[in-house]
Copies of this chain bind each other. A is one copy, B any other.
Amino acid sequence: MNRGRRTEHSRDKILQIGAELFTRNGYHATGVKEILTTCKVPKGSFYNFFESKEHFAVEILEHYRTIEFERWHTLAAQLQGNHFERMYQIIEKEIERFGNEQYACGCLLANLSGEVSQCSPLFSATIARSIRMVHDAITDDVLQCQQEGSLRRDLPADIVADVLLNHWQGALLRCKVENSTLPLQNHLTLLNSFKPSTEDIQ
């Protein structure tokens, strides 16, 4: 491994471990020293890579959002059925994933929203941008479902997306508290409750 690749590797590792520790223990409870000790990277490296702990956390949030979007798109492309059925299956797979891996940690975005969104304009803008992008993606999904007739059309797509996003974030918080993915199961109930009733279809 040459020096450039080793440097890149160290930087990626710090980002990955930082994301894990911030998600599990929060921003303020995670020290830069703990991150570097965990990923066995020399202490001096951190400030070569990142301007400050705050800029580091912002980079993690952006990085995490990109990865999550790519993962959802890849997953959606592999599934069969109409748009609603694929949305439903993605949620089922997400619940399964949280159950296997990380339900005790919750979601980085939801956890940091509560802790640091008021701490600085940089945090606030980054978190707000991530949430807006997730909201817009869900709105697109809801619109496609409404167009194919699998979700009720009497509510605007962006309002349904708001409700779905709020519910998912709140359910993730409860999973962390209750050490269980049960609160996420309600997201499937909520999705089903937005199906058109037979009188809407007539």
Per DSSP, chain A at the interface is helix
CA A115 to CA B198, docked complex, whole Å: 43
Q: Indicate which residue in B106, B115, B116, B163 contacts A189 across the interface (CB closer than 8 Å).
A: B163
CA A194 to CA B193, docked complex, whole Å: 8
Contact sample, A vs B, 16 pairs, CB 8 Å cutoff: A26-B26, A26-B28, A112-B114, A113-B173, A113-B177, A114-B176, A159-B186, A159-B189, A162-B183, A163-B189, A166-B171, A166-B186, A170-B171, A197-B197, A197-B199, A199-B199
Q: What is the distance, in angstroms, from A155's C-beta to the closest C-beta of chain B?
A: 7
Q: Which of A112, A118, A171 has the most CB of B within 10 A?
A: A118
Known: A113-B114, A166-B183. 4 other contacts (CB 8 A): A26-B28, A117-B176, A124-B179, A159-B186
- Interface residue count for A (Cβ, 8 Å)? 50
Q: Which of A26, A104, A111, A187 has the most CB of B within 10 A?
A: A26
